[in-house]
Structure 1
Amino acid sequence: MMNDQELLRYSRQILLQHVDIEGQLRLKSSRALIVGLGGLGSPVALYLAAAGVGELHLADFDTVDLTNLQRQIIHDTDSVGLSKVDSAIRRLSAINPEILLLAHRSALDADSLAAAVAAVDVVLDCSD
């Protein structure tokens, strides 16, 4: 079920014949793991959050550097020195407060990667 705010937020998508209410509800119930929040992971995370994917698991062990900002569009000058995960969470929460954001701030080893993959529907490898 979607509340009135969600119906308004996603109304343009819901109007699309191939999305409709059913498709938007599927997005809302979806869980994605994004590994890497740099040049590729940044726009991926922004678009998935804006589209209403209900749960985003964000994995990156790096911090934001000034040299990242021209290509890692989820981060900004105020994020320099922060973990990329924390920077992304701040930005994604501002874009869509309706979604759940889960942080993986350390490098994923075999065990933690297996657990993270098991917890989601899709994995997007945006690492470099």
Structure 2
Amino acid sequence: MMDERPEGATRTGEPTLNRILREMNDEGHFKASVLVSTEGLPLSSASSPFDTETMAAMVALVKNTIQQAREHIGLDEIDEVSIVQGDKMRLICRYLVVGDEELILSVIAPPHQTYRRLTNRALREIKRVWRRIYVA
């Protein structure tokens, strides 16, 4: 029997992490997105012209820099870090905790593109999928 589920969905029709990222990229016209562990390991990504492992390493570097800043300055938890290029293209790193796991959703957004609503929705969906698969 042929599997007729939509691409990027589980057998129950639930979205996968890759599908969540792909749909977010499509709707927001994002150049790339990757879900990364705090160790810098890519867990999921949407296809893009950017190398996933390089992007994950960049995100880990940003995370380490933020951690050092938190320790030296005494900042509370950080929700988001955004690095803006001269042409206004930006690298956005959104942090989330699911169970015992700390994850980072990273997006490369084109100049002047809104992203917060889409990344908020993606974070909620990622948490739901992660809990179902890994925390249950």
The two structures have a TM-score, normalised by structure 1, of 0.29
Greater fraction of residues in helix: 1
The two structures have a TM-score, normalised by structure 2, of 0.28
Q: Which has the higher contact order (CA 8 A, sep 6+)?
A: 1
Greater fraction of residues in strand: 2
